[in-house]
Amino acid sequence: MSKYILAIHAGHNASALIGDENGIQYAVQEERLNGEKNYWGFPKKSIIACLEKVNAKPGDVAQVVFGAHQLVTRYHSREDVLDSYARQDTLTGTIRQRFIMPFVMKLHKTFGQSEVLAELEKLGFKSNCVTFYDHHRSHAASAYYGLRQSNEDYLVLTCDGSGDDLCASVRIMGPGKDEVIATTQWSNSLGALYSWTTFRMGFVPLEHEYKLMGMAPYSSALFANEIKKIFESFLTLDETGLKFERKTIKRISEVSRDLFKKLEGKRFDAICGGLQSFTEEILSRWVLNAVKKTGIRKVVAAGGVFMNVKANKVISEIPEVEYFEAFPSCGDETLVFGAYYQYVVSTYGDDKVKKLNHFYTGDDLDETETIKALKNFSYKFKKMNHPAFEVAALLAKGKPVARCAGPMEFGARALGNRSILADPENQDIVRVINQMVKKRDFWMPFAPMMKKERSHHYIQNPKQLDSPYMMMTFNTQSNFKDLIAAVHNADLTCRAQLLTKEQNQQMYEIIDEFEKLTGKSVVLNTSFNLHGFPIARTAAEAMYIFHNSGLEYMQLGQYLVSKN
């Protein structure tokens, strides 16, 4: 009897997930399988990997589900994305983007579905076992079902560039309840405004927005406030306070040329600072209005705009908000979680959906493949008797250690299993790691991972909010120098991962041993990848990164690899 549920996202940052009525068994992004970061297209390799992981065939899948009705599945390289933005400065591009595509998408509510159905049939799936869910309801479902801590009602917010005609929604969700309070049409998109600014600043839209967020704190408040007023002249909230509303006849996706005429001659850091300040203010006003309208003080969120961890911090600090959390890696890659949750609820009941307890949904290391990968290189390696202590001892000596062990994390954040770790007190380690492997922009900070029960020693978290997936920043305590290498140097905030033993016991034990050696229950954590490439997945990939970097030590499963 068919029992599996296969959830697919075919589009930007393509992904797939497989599970059954009892839970999620495997989920992976296509980028991890083909080596192209933020892969845009049909996730064929991810689908095959899902089936192989549970030893299933297409006939064993009861239902295939998508987290959107309209799907832009044609392959886009990074250059294609840049070209599509640049073309809008041409006459033909303007006509296509302003008139043809909006008209087609408005009339063709199932745009792209025939293409994915054809691809599924090639793989052996039947088209009569496929369901498409609304884009923003899928985001909302991921947040509510994945993050809810009880069966009470939650205020659920979604905000992104666009999806199925919308860019934002406000709803109340509870057991058997999904009450839509307000929605915003895609033409009034805060996410589009941020992405277009990213493009005009010379970065890659839909990918590098975080770099503008990282630069923002370096701007003076005086210059940033001047720029914020310019952004305010394009987008605001409507009279209800629950919808975004543009102040121009043009759609927000069409105003970037007008915007940058006003920004001509302005400092780059001030533009970043003004954009971020504007984003934080309009989002926090929107959230506060929604809380006051509904009377619900527990808030969960999803959609790409909530990848903005600095805005999430401001939202969490609103006095009327009792609890706030954003779904991990809440761009379109996690629509598969929302689609899966919706199908399980509709088929098996609300009580069958389990809260997300961790995000390690990917591949674990295979012992045979690990040994093979190790022997392909001439580096020294040994099987560790006490991995946690041996890794912690290297960290205590000031050595960065790459870690590829346990199941791989899903999404944009490395959560310890595909990470580079270091002593966060040594500020020079930022330079060292960047020279060794990361090559990241000089203004971008690394992040700390700390024991949750000891986190009050390092961060200010008066509401005792959860942060297991690095989706929020916090103000640091007065002892910020104890983790200075993992703190934003301009405003002394940090994007902290608060780790529990239940979430990742092996990583927790490393921090525990590090604390015994140094007194610090926190380590620096950054993703284990070469610059511009996805995070490592397999032992072979980890060895390739190790070989092509200046890293000296790596934990590969139970093995310690050394260049010395």
Q: What is the per-residue DSSP string for 433-477?
A: HIIIII---TT---EEEEEGGGGGGTB--TT----TTS---EEB-
Q: Which token pair is 76?
A: 């886009």
Local structure of residue 485 (DSSP, 8 states): G
What domains are there in the chain, each with its CATH number? 4-132 (3.30.420), 137-330 (3.30.420.40), 367-562 (3.90.870.20)
Mean pLDDT on 145-169: 96
- Per-residue pLDDT tens for 224-248? 999 999 999 999 999 999 999 999 9
**% pLDDT > 90, the chain:** 92
Closest CA to 230 of 203, 260, 250: 260
Please tell me what DSSP assigns to residue 32. H
Query: Is pLDDT above 80 for 101?
Result: no
In three-state secondary structure terms, 173 is strand
User: For a pLDDT cut of 70, what percent of the chain falls above it?
Assistant: 99
Nearest Cα to Cα of residue 312 among 325, 297, 299: 325
The pLDDT assigned to 188 comes to 97
Contact predicate 463/322, CB 8 Å? yes
Query: Can you spell out the DSSP letters for 204-233?
Result: -TTTSHHHHHHHGGGS-HHHHHHHHHHHHT
Confidence bin at 2 (pLDDT 50/70/90): low
Q: How far is CA 190 from the centre of its chain?
A: 18
* Whole-angstrom distance, CA of residue 334 vs CA of residue 542: 25
User: Both tokens of residue 509?
Assistant: 């034990």
Q: For residue 495, is pLDDT > 90?
A: yes
Provide the pLDDT for residue 143.
Answer: 98
Asked if residue 483 lies in contact with residue 458, where contact means CB atoms within 8 angstroms, the answer is: yes
Weakest-pLDDT range from 26-30, 108-112, 113-117, 308-312: 108-112
What does residue 170 show for φ and ψ, rounded to 5 degrees?
-125, 125
Amino acid at 467: S
Residue 272, Cβ neighbours under 10 Å: how many?
25
Task: Work out whether strand 418-422 and strand 522-527 pair parallel, antiparallel, or are unpaired.
Answer: antiparallel
Amino acid occupying residue 362 = G
**For residue 89, what pLDDT is reported?**
82
End-to-end CA distance of the chain: 55
For the stretch 137-156, pLDDT in tens is 999 999 999 999 999 999 99
The 10s digit of each residue's pLDDT in 393-429 is 999 999 999 999 999 999 999 999 999 999 999 999 9
**497 in Cβ contact with 449 (< 8 Å):** yes
What Rg, from alpha-carbon coordinates, does the chain have? 23
- What's the gap between Cα 366 and its chain centre? 27
Mean predicted lDDT score pLDDT of the chain: 95
Whole-number Å distance between alpha carbons of 61 and 111? 24
* 407 vs 134: CA distance, rounded Å: 30
Length of the chain equals: 564
Among 345, 8, 327, CA closest to 159 = 327
C-alpha–C-alpha distance, residues 83 and 423, integer Å: 41
- With cut-offs at 50, 70 and 90, classify the pLDDT of residue 448: very high
Give Dmax (Cα) for the chain.
67
Pairwise CA distance, residues 307 & 501, whole Å: 25
Cβ neighbours for 148, distance < 8 A, ≥ 6 positions apart: 154, 300, 355
pLDDT digits (tens, 9 = 90+) for 372-397: 999 999 999 999 999 999 999 999 99
Summarised one tens digit per residue, pLDDT across range 320-365 is 999 999 999 999 999 999 999 999 999 999 999 989 999 999 999 9
* pLDDT above 70 for 1: no
Instruction: Give the three-state DSSP class for 313.
Output: helix
Query: 34-76: per-residue pLDDT in tens?
Result: 999 999 999 999 999 999 999 999 999 999 999 999 999 999 9
- Are 344 and 133 in contact, with CB atoms under 8 Å apart? no
What's the confidence (pLDDT) of residue 102? 74
Read off φ and ψ for residue 168, nearest 5 degrees. -165, 155
Query: What's the token pair of residue 489?
Result: 């140097």
Please give the single-letter amino acid code of residue 187.
Answer: S
Q: 13 falls in which pLDDT band (50, 70, 90)? A: very high
Q: What secondary structure letter does DSSP report for 551?
A: -
**Whole-number Å distance between alpha carbons of 26 and 19:** 7
The whole-angstrom separation of Cα 220 and Cα 425 is 27
Question: For residues 338 and 343, what is the distance between their CA atoms, to the nearest angstrom?
Answer: 9
CA angle 417, 379, 533 (to 5 degrees): 45
Helix H or strand E segment including 553: strand 553-556
- Token pair recorded at residue 561: 């690899």
- DSSP 3-state of 246: strand
Rounded average pLDDT over 103-113 = 81
